[in-house]
Amino acid sequence: MKVVTAKELAIKHRAEKIVLIASRRTDMPAFYTDELLKGLKQGKFHPQTMMQPMWELNFEPQDIHSVGLWSQDFGKWIERRHEIADLGYKFWYRFTILPDDPVCKPKAPPVEEQLKQLETLANTDGSDCVFVFIDPLVQYKRTGETHWRYNFSEVSVDMIVRKAHQLGIKSITISLLDYYRHVEKKALRKGFEFRFLNSNNHSDQEEMIENGEENQKYH
């Protein structure tokens, strides 16, 4: 297994330090808290990019500019982050908060709980270290139905944006659902289908876009 140090990576990219990001392929703060904390304590992770062999990254806390955590549920992280408080890492957060919906949000905590976590992170690390994503806004229907449903309402998006604004969070991203064939197949197997918007048809996107623009007035 190839072993690389953080200092070597920084030199390669002409930087003083590197940024660790976890994670795009799975929700480490929510489901792999033990592994995340262990890696930060030991200064060792085993990254594996798509279609590439696993390798080992070794580092000291002083070699790391910051650690970016992506999640829909920071509950376990908030409870246990004190275990590495003395190591000196700086953290920033990509927090995805979707309106409550049984189809499009089956596992993440309710919005009320997510907003409590959001407040804790903003108060602990600073509002400039928290980035809110309302992602994605979706239309869907059960197989056999003709009526398309939204996974959000203007009220639900408004509640998230207002709370972020109250906490001083300046970065809020609202996005629409992109087409992925494997997502379509999985949805059909579960008995429902998504409405993937036509990027070439403005009228097909207008209602969702207007809803997002309405809520941007707070910023």
User: What distance in Å separates the CA atoms of residue 101 and residue 150, rounded to the nearest whole number?
Assistant: 9
User: What distance in Å separates the CA atoms of residue 210 and residue 206, rounded to the nearest whole number?
Assistant: 6
Q: Residues 55-98: pLDDT tens digits?
A: 999 999 999 999 999 999 999 999 999 999 999 999 999 999 99
Structure tokens at 43: 């200064």
- How far the first Cα of the chain sits from its last, in Å, is 48
Please report which confidence band the pLDDT of residue 218 belongs to, taking 50, 70 and 90 as the band edges: very low
Query: CB of 120 within 8 A of CB of 73?
Result: no
Give how far Cα 52 sits from Cα of 2, 47, 49, 154, Å.
12, 10, 5, 43
Q: Residues 12-71: pLDDT tens digits?
A: 999 999 999 987 778 999 999 999 999 999 999 998 877 789 999 999 999 999 999 999
